[in-house]
Amino acid sequence: MLSITNLHAGISGKEILKGISLSIRAGEVHAIMGPNGSGKSTLASVLAGRETFEVSEGTVLYQGTNLLDLSPEERAREGLFLAFQYPVEIPGVSNMYFLKTALNAIRKHRGEEELDAVEFLALVKKKSKLVEMDQSLLNRPVNEGFSGGEKKRNEIFQMAVLDPKLALLDETDSGLDIDALRIVAEGVNKLRGKENAIVLVTHYQRLLNYIVPDFVHVLQEGRIVKSGGKELALLLEERGYDWIKEETESVGSA
Amino acid sequence: MGQPNGRAAGKSRGGAVNRDRENMNAQEQTDWYEARFGRWESGMNGESKTPLHSLRKAAIGSFARTGFPSTREEEWRFTNVAPIARVPFVPAVSAEIPRLERRDVERFLFAGLTSHHLVFVNGRFLPEYSSLGELPDGVRIESLESALRRDQGEVLRHLARYAPPDQGAFPALNAAFIQDGAYLYLPDGAQIEEAVHLLFIAAGDADPLLLTPRNLIITGAGCRLSIVETYHAVRSSSYLTNVVSELLVGEGTVIEHDKVQAEHPHAYHVGTTQIVQHKASTVVSNSIAVGGSIVRNTVATLLAEEGSHCTLNGLSVATGNQLIDNHTTIDHATSNCTSFEMYKSILDGASRGVFNGKIFVRKDAQKTDAKQTNKTLLLSDDATIDTKPQLEIFADDVKCTHGATVGQLDDEQVFYLRSRGIDEVDARDLLTFAFAGDVVSKVHVEPLRDRLDVLLHERLRQGRVTGIE
Ligand SMILES: Nc1ncnc2c1ncn2[C@@H]1O[C@H](COP(=O)(O)OP(=O)(O)OP(=O)(O)O)[C@@H](O)[C@H]1O
Ligand SMILES: [Mg+2]
């Protein structure tokens, strides 16, 4: 579904991603872990089409097409979804209006009928129940004055409504209370299927108890320095990241 | 006052001045209006002996002394009215009222506001297209002209008291040619359910015209009233709307005053809204400007007695070479009053915005709480804004804040919307609309709010401000 090869990207001449290669097939869940500032969000932003980052090298194939050629909105319409680490507040734009516009843009692209107000409302009702999203948040401006946890929940709610093929969740678990974490995880698990793939960026093994990944990758200083199965996450929880650094350095110098 | 104001000169030179001449100098400019005044006066039948006419005479005298302001004056630093001053506008007071088709009027009316609407064409009341509605006892909603005819004394107790002619050249020029406008009088306790719509249409194609509508709104204690002033044109040749509205707000009275200025893009509009608030009164003023070539809009409120509140909101949407200047004054003359002000501009093309927000907190105005915000969205590199908050605080126990921002749309917000599948231009329009919506949502008169939504959707498209035709 997604195939990243030797991806280099940065901002104003500073390289942040230094050669990332990663393959994700439909039906898989990948977890990306790594220290602060290692480039996890940058990777997610580049995949979503954030123009502030320049890609200097490498390719990204998504469902057989060159992802880097597509605008952010085209990527979204092709089924890519990024749950932001820091969702932005948009005063004056109601959550509902925003989401309806987005959904209908995507449906139009897929050749589906646009939903009218009644159909949309029914869908929203169903999906907001799924992520136990407070109805009052729906009519408020996008993320404005939302608590940290409410913002994260809103991201998952949007994901549930837009029904993406490839979801990138950037630290969606941070700032969630225990109940919210379980709810978000359930939401993600419902999305999980043969046709979909999920990339979870997280610092905590805890989330991975709820959403069990097929692969865990460690991103350090712009490179994937280690990949493994779900047990790798437990190891990281126990031992931190330094040992990997030592391991790669000793491998490098050997 | 009382200066013998060049009547003779006016009469003899009235026809001689070449109207098409550009670049009248300062003397010729004042001479021109004095001459027109003299002409009008000479055609009056007895009216020239009335107290009202004394007021006009004092006003033309005041105008003749000052002339049009220049950019050397601090108040006019950013707004050059020379293009207005050099045109010999003909005051519409004695001109014929052009006939309008019903549809030319109806398209500017609101289906949801049918009870009280007063239609003015070139500043003159048009009864056949107006509806004064059923009114509670003692309430008057009528044209100023008819009120003056009925009881000049009653009107003159208030007229030009709150916005006196010596406030400046434009209020003076307006007062010199006071003839018609809207007159609203609400005795204690009067509540008008439906908003009163005052529709001003510029029409006809003769001469550059000077329109001088004058509105007077007087309320007693415990009243409720919403007024909607809208300005439109079915005329494309040059004109200047120079309007003055005075509002006296009684104790505990709640007023919403909405003004929508959608003049012809070649028109000039200078407007003054002067509000005086008595004890524990509340005023919400929403001023939306989309039309005009050079626009100067002044909203001033005097919080004269304790416990009052005012909200002044403004929105300017401009493109091309439009200049929209908003001047506001909130005068906290007494204690325990609150004011909230938010003026926004969306500027595209080579348009220019000016915001000057004065807040005076007088010595006795303790416990004042005033908040002023000015935000500008620049959609092009050539658009500019001059913004100047002006807080003068003479009391010590007060809370006063002000802030101004100027910028483009937020890239992160644009990206967020696009990342959900929304087109870039749609995302930009959505955000621009939201920026404006902040002001529009403060309009409580629903039919107007709906109309503004439509208007702004038309004006804010494809990431730009589209001109009005
Ligand atoms: N707009 C930017 N301008 C300059 N530097 C940036 C910008 N965005 C990211 N960086 C830098 O790139 C590096 C990677 O940042 P990124 O946000 O991708 O890290 P992260 O792995 O997501 O960290 P965290 O776990 O704290 O979320 C950091 O050093 C960061 O300071
Ligand atoms: Mg991050």
Contact yes or no for A93 and B434 at CB 8 A? yes
Taking CB atoms and an 8 Å cutoff, what residues of chain B touch A93? Answer: 417, 430-431, 434
CA of A102 to the centre of ligand 2 (A): 25
Nearest-angstrom CA–CA distance, B319 and B317: 7
Nearest-angstrom CA–CA distance, A26 and B438: 44
Burial class (CB in 10 A: 0-12, 13-18, 19+), B46: exposed
B328-368: pLDDT as tens digits: 999 999 999 999 999 999 999 999 999 999 999 999 999 99
Torsional class of B432: left (φ above 0), alpha (ψ -120 to 50), beta (otherwise): alpha
Mean pLDDT of chain B: 93
Please give the backbone phi and psi of residue B106, each rounded to the nearest 5 degrees, phi first: -65, -30
Decide if A90 touches B, using CB distance below 8 A: yes
Looking at the partner chain, which of A87, A90, A101 has a beta carbon nearest the beta carbon of B434? Answer: A90
Residue nearest to atom 7 of ligand 1 (CA): A11
pLDDT at B39 over 90: yes
Contact yes or no for B416 and A84 at CB 8 A? yes
Going by C-alpha positions, the residue among B212, B96, B209, B90 that lies closest to residue B144 is B212
Taking CB atoms and an 8 Å cutoff, what residues of chain B touch A98? Answer: 417, 420, 422, 430
Mean pLDDT of chain A: 92
pLDDT at B442 over 80: yes
Looking at the partner chain, which of B412, B415, B421 has a beta carbon nearest the beta carbon of A102? Answer: B421
Ligand 1 touching residue A40 (CB < 6 A): yes
Q: Of A88, A97, A168, which to mutate for an interface test with B (greatest number of B Cβ within 10 Å)?
A: A88
DSSP H or E segment with residue A40:
helix A40-48
Q: ipTM of this predicted complex?
A: 0.95
Decide if A103 touches B, using CB distance below 8 A: yes
Going by C-alpha positions, the residue among A197, A202, A190 that lies closest to residue A214 is A197
Going by C-alpha positions, the residue among B56, B55, B22, B65 that lies closest to residue B37 is B56
Q: DSSP class of residue A115?
A: P
The pLDDT of residue A250 = 63
Amino acid (one-letter) located at A241:
Y
Higher-scoring residue by pLDDT: B75, A246: B75
Nearest-angstrom CA–CA distance, A30 and A201: 9
The pLDDT of residue B468 = 65
The pLDDT of residue B246 = 98
CA of A16 to the centre of ligand 1 (A): 8
Nearest-angstrom CA–CA distance, A254 and A252: 6
B172-211: pLDDT as tens digits: 999 999 999 999 999 999 999 999 999 999 998 888 999 9
Please give the backbone phi and psi of residue A68, each rounded to the nearest 5 degrees, phi first: -70, -15
Ligand 1 touching residue A42 (CB < 6 A): yes
Atom of ligand 1 nearest to the CA of A45: 18
Contact yes or no for B418 and A49 at CB 8 A? yes
Closest residue of chain B to A72, computed from CA coordinates: B419
| Number of CB pairs, chain A paired with chain B, less than 8 A apart | 75
Percent of chain B with pLDDT over 90: 89
Percent of chain A with pLDDT over 70: 97
CA of A41 to the centre of ligand 2 (A): 4
Amino acid (one-letter) located at B185:
Y
Q: Of A81, A98, A110, A143, which to mutate for an interface test with B (greatest number of B Cβ within 10 Å)?
A: A98
Contact yes or no for B420 and A109 at CB 8 A? no
Nearest-angstrom CA–CA distance, B441 and B181: 28
Going by C-alpha positions, the residue among B230, B294, B374 that lies closest to residue B71 is B294
Q: Would strands B140-143 and B182-186 be described as parallel, antiparallel, or unpaired? A: antiparallel
CA of A34 to the centre of ligand 2 (A): 10
Nearest-angstrom CA–CA distance, A4 and A224: 12
DSSP for B158-197 reads: TTTTSS-GGG-HHHHHHHHT----EEEEE-TT-B-SSPEE
pLDDT at B6 over 70: no
* Model confidence band, residue B94 (pLDDT cutoffs 50, 70, 90): confident
What is the end-to-end Cα distance of chain B in Å, rounded? 43
Q: Which whole-number Å values give the CA distances from B307 to A97, B251, B280, B360, B361, in the listed order?
A: 39, 10, 4, 16, 14
Torsional class of B218: left (φ above 0), alpha (ψ -120 to 50), beta (otherwise): beta
Decide if B424 touches A, using CB distance below 8 A: yes
Q: Is the pTM of this model over 0.90?
A: no
Ligand 1 pocket test, candidate residues A8, A14, A18, A38, most atoms within 8 A of CB: A38
* Model confidence band, residue A253 (pLDDT cutoffs 50, 70, 90): very low
The pLDDT of residue B2 = 34
Going by C-alpha positions, the residue among B429, B435, B431, B438 that lies closest to residue B457 is B429
pLDDT at B18 over 60: no
DSSP for A133-167 reads: --HHHHTSEETTT--HHHHHHHHHHHHHHH--SEE
Contact yes or no for B418 and A76 at CB 8 A? yes
Ligand 1 touching residue A193 (CB < 6 A): no
Contact yes or no for A162 and B420 at CB 8 A? yes
CA of A222 to the centre of ligand 1 (A): 10
Give the other-Cβ count within 10 Å of B156's Cβ.
16
Taking CB atoms and an 8 Å cutoff, what residues of chain A touch B423? Answer: 73, 105
Decide if B175 touches A, using CB distance below 8 A: no
Nearest-angstrom CA–CA distance, A34 and B376: 41
A86-142: pLDDT as tens digits: 999 999 999 999 999 999 999 999 999 999 999 999 999 999 988 888 888 999 999
DSSP H or E segment with residue B32:
helix B26-42
Percent of chain B with pLDDT over 70: 95
The pLDDT of residue B469 = 56
Contact yes or no for B419 and A76 at CB 8 A? yes
User: Angle at Cα B106 formed by Cα B102 and Cα B108, nearest 5°?
Assistant: 135
Contact yes or no for B438 and A93 at CB 8 A? no
Residue B308: which residues within 8 A CB-CB, separation 6 or more? B249, B277, B278, B279, B280, B281, B282, B283, B337, B338
The pLDDT of residue B45 = 84
pLDDT at B5 over 60: no
What number of CA atoms fall less than 13 Å from residue B66's CA on the CB side? 19
Nearest-angstrom CA–CA distance, A202 and A184: 13
A149-168: pLDDT as tens digits: 899 999 999 999 999 999 99
